[in-house]
């Protein structure tokens, strides 16, 4: 269990640090409206993950109970999807673009926007489906509980990382503007994480 959680935590940390729509949005809101607004946005995004975790825990756990073959099929799908994400990142521009024109909103509005952004994005559920099953430490036991443990771990690490980005928004923005090549390193970090997890899933 401990080994699985450590591996999962490291992978989650690497992904949460890598530039993506969510953390760039948090960074932008923090630059425009202040760190508190960035944290409010983060709280909204993370709150949406609770629903995705519950759907994953109860839905996939039922499938595991019903058929190990179907569960293996889910893992193969997950591995292929992660390799697809790695390819998308590889083809993307490594430049980290930060805009300063985000509309000003209240913290309550930003929280609600974060929740809605997370819930209406089907890619989040697909990502959870691809990512989480690889780190179950005992598929033969209570997988619902294991999924919730992974979900809570994912939310805690993401919240701390995104909140740190919000608090350090000014410094991070300045660093990214002065060091244009940092995007390349973060891009390849994300690719390695996606490919590494995909391989990990496929290894018996």
Domain ranges of the chain: 2-94+121-202
Spatial CB neighbours of 13, under 8 Å, sequence gap ≥ 6: 157, 161
pLDDT digits (tens, 9 = 90+) for 44-79: 999 999 988 998 888 877 776 667 787 778 778 878
Write the CB contacts of 20 (distance below 8 Å, at least 6 apart in sequence).
none
Q: Which two tokens stand for residue 9?
A: 């935590």
- Compute and round to an integer the Cα radius of gyration of the chain: 17
Model confidence over 130-173: pLDDT tens digits? 888 888 888 778 888 999 999 999 999 999 999 999 888 878 77
Q: For residue 18, is pLDDT > 70?
A: yes
| pLDDT tens digits along 80-137 | 888 888 888 788 776 655 555 555 678 898 899 889 888 877 778 888 888 888 888 8
Between vectors from CA 84 to CA 78 and to CA 87, what angle results, nearest 5°?
A: 145
Instruction: Kindly report the number of other CB atoms within 10 A of residue 51's CB atom.
Output: 14
Give the pLDDT confidence score for residue 184 in this predicted structure: 75
Q: Give the number of other Cβ atoms within 10 Å of residue 104's Cβ.
A: 11
Which pLDDT band holds residue 197 (cuts at 50, 70, 90)?
confident
Question: Rounded to two decimals, what is the model's pTM?
Answer: 0.78
Q: What pLDDT is recorded for position 65? A: 63
Do the beta carbons of residue 74 and residue 81 sit within 8 Å?
A: no
pLDDT reported for residue 95: 63
How confident is the model at residue 100, as a pLDDT?
52
Place 202 in a pLDDT band, splitting at 50, 70 and 90.
confident
From the list 51, 50, 70, the residue with the least C-alpha distance to 60 is 70
Query: CA angle, corner 56, sides to 135 and 139, nearest 5?
Result: 40
């Amino acid at each position: 269990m401990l080994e699985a959680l450590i591996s999962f935590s490291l992978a989650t940390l690497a992904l949460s640090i890598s530039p993506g729509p969510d953390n760039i949005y948090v960074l932008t809101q923090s630059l425009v409206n202040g760190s508190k607004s960035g944290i409010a946005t983060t709280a909204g995004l993370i709150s949406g993950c609770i629903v995705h975790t519950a759907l994953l825990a109860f839905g996939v756990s039922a499938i595991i109970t019903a058929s190990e073959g179907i569960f293996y099929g889910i893992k193969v799908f997950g591995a292929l999807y992660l390799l697809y994400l790695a390819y998308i990142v590889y083809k993307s521009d490594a430049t980290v673009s930060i805009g300063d024109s985000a509309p000003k909103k209240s913290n309550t509005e930003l929280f609600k926007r974060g929740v809605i952004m997370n819930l209406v994005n089907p890619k989040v559920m697909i990502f959870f489906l691809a990512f989480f099953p690889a780190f179950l430490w005992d598929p033969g036991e209570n997988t619902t509980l294991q999924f919730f443990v992974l979900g809570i771990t994912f939310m805690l690490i993401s919240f701390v990382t995104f909140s740190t980005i919000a608090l350090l928004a000014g410094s991070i923005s300045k660093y990214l503007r002065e060091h244009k090549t940092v995007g390349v390193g973060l891009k390849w970090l994300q690719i390695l994480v996606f490919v590494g997890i995909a391989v990990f899933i496929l290894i018996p």
